[in-house]
Structure 1
Amino acid sequence: MPKPKPLLRGQSLPIFNLTGDKTAEIAKQRRFVSESTSTLRMSGTSVEYSKQEITDKPIGQNGVFRQYLRGRPITMFAPSDSAEQGAKKESTLPTEMLRAEWVYGYRGRDCADNLHELASGEIVYNIASVVVLYDPRAGTQRHYLGHNSSIQCLAVHPAGVLVTSGQVMGVNRREQIAVYEKFDGFYETPDPNWYKPHVRVWDSKTLQTLAVIGGGKLQFGVCAVSFSVSDGGGRVLVVDDSPGKILTVWDWKNGDLLCEAVATRDLLETAAFHPMDSDMMVTAGKNHLGFWTIKKITAGSTSKAFLTTKKGLFAEHQAKFVHCLDFGDNGDVITGDSKGSILVWKKGCNRISHANPAAHKGGIMALRVTSEGTMVTGGGKDRRVVVWDRSYTRPLRECKLDKSLGGVRSICPADKCQMFSGSGLFLGTLSNALCHWTLDLEKVEAVAEGHADELWGLAAHPRKPQFVTCDYSGLVVLWESKTHRPIWRTNLKFAAQSAQFHPSEEILLIGTSVGRWYCMDASTAAVIEDHQAGEDNKQLDCLRFSPDGAILAVGSHDNHIYLYTVENHGKSYKKSTRLSGHSSFVTHLDFSTDGRYMQSTSGDYELLYWDVAARSQLQFKSAMRDVTWNTQTCVFGFHVFGMWQQGADGHDILSCAVSGSRALLASADTHGKVNLFRFPCSKFQAPGHVYPGHGSHVTSVSFLHGDDWLISTGGLDCGIIQWQVVQPAPKHSSKRTHKDYSKPSTKSRNSSTSMLSVIDEFLPEDPSRNGGGLAVTDAATQTSRPGSPDKASRNPSPQPPPDPVQEEKKIIQQLVDSLFLNN
């Protein structure tokens, strides 16, 4: 069996193969029930999922429930004293909500020229699907959350107020449109291309979107954007990140495409309008430097624009990459390349006028001309930042970044007109850090640090508002949530996958992708000892201590759980046994509060229970119905099944966590969302708040000590978002319906068969009775659209008469349930 991909944590196995004609038909019907699920429905900043009521009818099975994921049944038992048995379950939205307080890091490893200063003095940059507006004076952040997928580039209007940002292709899940409506009123207008690559133009003061362009035209993503300057910023240059790198020019106010052309077949890194002529543009990339001019052809009363280009002629200064460009105050074009050379091109000319070869050792990744006419360059390999005189040949000042920060990726002069007496420069790095260089003091300080490789590991400190994250580069960081700064950083030899604190808080464990785990001093990051969990060097997805810290459980991709006895306050370990029983890799582990039992889940949607003292699997799951779990990281079980929404396939939720007060449940999904529910979450399709922000799958969530913050980590976007848990004043709730975004008209949506079947007539009421209505609860948002009227609910559609075929399928489904229950 091939090794599972990290994104999905493995592939699901086929549904059970039954023998005989009847059982084959039953399996077919069971697959039908699993696959014919209605779509998830959400709305608003705080989104309440579809509130379908379930009337429990406890007939003979003592509160036994079964959840199906890709045809695999997960049997769950309600607690013996549970009020859910035989009564209509009451479930409401949690009064607590989340507000994005701080986004760690900056996207510099694969983005260029995405760090700018606004007229307000804020520094704007992007990471994941968030545009961060950082106020260096107050040390706070604001966030633009209008994008529905990862942001690749951004630019600032010449007036310093408007911002344009471009995103990659998103996921066409129409039910998620309502999530974004609370952050961006533009989603209220039906648009079938809402999820496709596009560019948004928005106001940095109000965080309101003014225009959306390129949806349906752009194919893969947006690798470069730029505002025109000389005409007052009426045009936007957009480069499609398709194989052809299509260069397009738009009238963004009217949404009109003015002209387009193929820029290059290779990598394109940057593009910009000439500041003195809005009909001139420059593009740069791999083996490419293009000088573009917009021409017009007039025929009668109509005119058509088109693009012409001249390639840069490098002669002996040819380099493989042109990484960056800017413009002098006289209109000259200045470029930095992979050979470390600074080249100057006269305005309107495609030949080099003069050069400063080998200005850096290695490539020049960033270049910026200041308002005083001096120039600042940043090196990738040599990590040097150099301020040059007006001739661009004599260095005036320079500094070198620390190795942990990486090379320079973007440069942003702050308070440009007072550069040498003012605050200095902001620098974005290849290691996804944002730094500030105070020129007078010649001091470089990291402002926002993050990770630069895929991020999975997360653990909260047991007694302090601190947390640890670790990534595939082997980087491990201990963070202080109050200051948003790292306490320490260290690198391990192998890719880091998981993390866990010992209850004594003195010891930290890190699991890796090769089956080795490290015991570290939590205060100094010193490695005390390391162990190999298995013989096959398989990835370790989870580490978990018993409540008293005497036992360590390690879940491996070799399908086993390894138990260790712990001594010396977590500093010494001895392997005691290996537990077998899972048919796929182990994903999550939890101990009971008394440490006697353990529950675990696998990549094949299994939920197993274990007797810790006997070192064996428990065959009678019903005996676990009244066990209280010390943690709740397992994504399956009676107390958490309500967080799984209709249409889930088992991969949708990668992580969950319960607050210290045991009142809230947070989950991380593969669509870039963080979800917040009440705990226990034992109602099918429980109502919850939904929050966007990550650009890819959210790999982990964890509440910090004290429950004041929730931390979420993104996988491929390398982002860490710190959410403040808030409880705003109650506001009016209203009913609303969903729009059909494939057509100009608005239509309500009806639910279809649920993915959760309840044993022996524990069946949900017909969802069509609810008419697809949603209750939208206002929350603390980063932006709002004043004057948006509440939308009234539509009347539910009449219930159709019973279908004999559907009735027969229900009977077959009940036979399947009874068969698997008896087995």
Structure 2
Amino acid sequence: MEKEDICDPSLEKCSAIYENILEFQYSFGYNTQKYFNMCVADKCTIIFGSGNLIHIYNIEKGERRFHRTLTGGGIGHITKNPLFEHIAVADNGYEPMVVIYNWPSMDVISVLRGGTTKSYSFMSYSPDGEMLCVQGGDPDFLLTIWDWRNAVILRQQRSHVNDVYNIVFSPYSPQMMCTGGWKHINFWKIAKTFSGLKLMKKPGRFGKREASNVIGILPLPDGQVISGCEWGNMLLWNDGVIKMELCGLNGQPCHEAPISQLLLEGKELFSVGRDGMINTWYFEEIENADPQEENKLEMRPYRSFRIGSEINKSSLVAIAKQHQHDSDDNNWFAQDANGRLWKVNLSQVNDLPAEEILLAHAGVVVAIAASPHHSLLASLDHSGRLLVHDYSKKNLVAHAEFSSNGSSINWLPLSSL
């Protein structure tokens, strides 16, 4: 199947308009508020979804190219195979499909059907790149493991009764994985039997603590798991129960907002927060911890990176390394739910601020107005951000931030002098 098989716009049988009445030219969109809507295809290319378009953004040239989804529906998630040059795109819509493309040609490698009824929320490849685990959304919440080469479902079962935000395989024990979402975390073991794969689930028990949404999840080498929580601390899980809560000094939270991502780079633990902070912790402190009363461990981050500023505050939902297979590289991309894409160097000796590489709307666009005299288009979102694009040159020419929520805009006519 070649890339020209990507679907065209569809019309109802009773429609009175022509199929080609409108022709797509360009998209300035980016759904920055969707968790993990950022796939690093190579060192200079980021792929993300907006509507039913796959955006392929070259950060060096500042150029975008586009692919419509195979089914014409929206996009649930985009991810890259850890070993093969493949990009997986999970569509949304009626009986959506997962499509695996070759990178960079975007030729279709495989099409996976039957994973969910309406939508997908997340995907994750096994560490060896051979299996693809895909999480469905409402109403079935099915967790499906595919042999993507042969488009065969190896195992499928209901994951949870509410939204699942994240799936993480353990790189140390590939038969183990975790899922987290609305007020829950689940721990899974994958077993091979004579009849196929078997999935064994152990729900996480919060005990005396309030049940929390779980987004950031990090499996550890010893089989334990660290997760984030809504109040900004980290939870250390062992065999499905909370062994220890990790917090800042004097009982302060690790972050002033929920933790969206956790990463382990050597002996450095990175926590990414919706407060716009990336904190770095000594992992050995956790390994050697002897928790005090209430099973809490107070720690101090030895390095903190604030993305954005007091004026342009960020809310981080994902980071990804620019050179994914280079352990010495410290350049990362950061997805900001407040409508920005950043490039940041997380080196210990770096004091340079993050570089803004893309600006988009933060949330729902509430109003659009076109200039009566020039090829300019103004758009306003609910957060109060005004963007003005030159649609002939396909670039952003002006922007403004207002303290009040946006509601409407109007392009005033020029009076004659």
TM-score, normalised with respect to structure 2: 0.79
**AA partner of residue 398 (structure 1):** F
Alignment counterpart, residue 198 of structure 1, candidates 91, 97, 103: 97
Does the 8 Å CA contact 1:328/1:373 hold for their aligned counterparts?
A: no
Distance 1:388-1:494 versus aligned 2 partners, 3 A rule: closer
- Which residue pairs with 1:320 in the alignment? 212
Alignment counterpart, residue 146 of structure 2, candidates 250, 260, 270: 250
- Which residue pairs with 2:413 in the alignment? 502
Q: 1:337 offset after TM fit, Å?
A: 1.3
CA distance in 1, matches of 2:10, 2:243: 63
Does the 8 Å CA contact 1:367/1:411 hold for their aligned counterparts?
A: no
CA distance in 2, matches of 1:475, 1:253: 44
Alignment counterpart, residue 378 of structure 1, candidates 261, 266, 272: 272
- Which residue pairs with 2:289 in the alignment? none
Q: 1:457 offset after TM fit, Å?
A: 2.8
Question: 1:154 aligned to 2:78?
Answer: yes
- C-alpha distance after superposition, 1:18-50 (max 9, x if no partner): xxxxxxxxxxxxxxxxxxxxxxxxx98897999
Alignment counterpart, residue 203 of structure 2, candidates 287, 311, 323: 311
Where structure 1 has 5 or more consecutive residues not aligned to the other structure, the ranges are 1-42, 51-67, 70-90, 171-195, 505-547, 549-568, 570-823
Correspondences of 1:801-816 after superposition (within 5 Å): none
- Which residue pairs with 1:225 in the alignment? 123
Does the 8 Å CA contact 2:184/2:211 hold for their aligned counterparts?
A: no
Question: 1:168 aligned to 2:75?
Answer: no
- Which residue pairs with 1:427 in the alignment? 334
TM-score, normalised with respect to structure 1: 0.42
CA distance in 1, matches of 2:97, 2:157: 17
Q: 1:241 offset after TM fit, Å?
A: 0.2
CA distance in 2, matches of 1:420, 1:396: 18
**AA partner of residue 133 (structure 1):** I
Q: Max radius of gyration: which structure? A: 1
Q: 1:345 offset after TM fit, Å?
A: 3.7
**AA partner of residue 317 (structure 2):** R
- Which residue pairs with 1:214 in the alignment? 113
- C-alpha distance after superposition, 1:681-735 (max 9, x if no partner): xxxxxxxxxxxxxxxxxxxxxxxxxxxxxxxxxxxxxxxxxxxxxxxxxxxxxxx
CA distance in 1, matches of 2:122, 2:325: 27
Correspondences of 1:87-486 after superposition (within 5 Å): 99-100=25-26, 103-109=27-33, 111-147=34-70, 148-159=72-83, 161-170=85-94, 196-215=95-114, 217-229=115-127, 232-298=128-194, 303-328=195-220, 332-345=224-237, 349-357=239-247, 358-370=253-265, 372-380=266-274, 382-391=275-284, 393=299, 394-402=301-309, 404=312, 406-416=314-324, 422=330, 424-439=331-346, 440-455=350-365, 457-461=367-371, 466-479=376-389, 482=393, 484-485=395-396
**AA partner of residue 414 (structure 1):** Q
Q: 1:469 offset after TM fit, Å?
A: 0.7
- Which residue pairs with 2:250 in the alignment? none
Does the 8 Å CA contact 2:7/2:68 hold for their aligned counterparts?
A: no
Greater relative contact order structure (CA < 8 Å, 6+ sep): 1
Give the helix-richer structure, 1 or 2: 1
Give the strand-richer structure, 1 or 2: 2
Quick one: percent identity of the two aligned structures? 19
Where structure 2 has 5 or more consecutive residues not aligned to the other structure, the ranges are 248-252, 287-298
CA distance in 2, matches of 1:436, 1:236: 28
Q: How many residue pairs align between the two structures?
A: 385
| RMSD, aligned α-carbons | 3.5
Q: 1:284 offset after TM fit, Å?
A: 0.5
Does the 8 Å CA contact 1:384/1:398 hold for their aligned counterparts?
A: yes
Does the 8 Å CA contact 2:7/2:69 hold for their aligned counterparts?
A: no
CA distance in 2, matches of 1:430, 1:390: 28
**AA partner of residue 116 (structure 1):** C
- C-alpha distance after superposition, 1:590-640 (max 9, x if no partner): xxxxxxxxxxxxxxxxxxxxxxxxxxxxxxxxxxxxxxxxxxxxxxxxxxx
Does the 8 Å CA contact 2:170/2:177 hold for their aligned counterparts?
A: yes
Does the 8 Å CA contact 1:105/1:434 hold for their aligned counterparts?
A: no
Does the 8 Å CA contact 1:224/1:271 hold for their aligned counterparts?
A: yes
Correspondences of 1:597-608 after superposition (within 5 Å): none
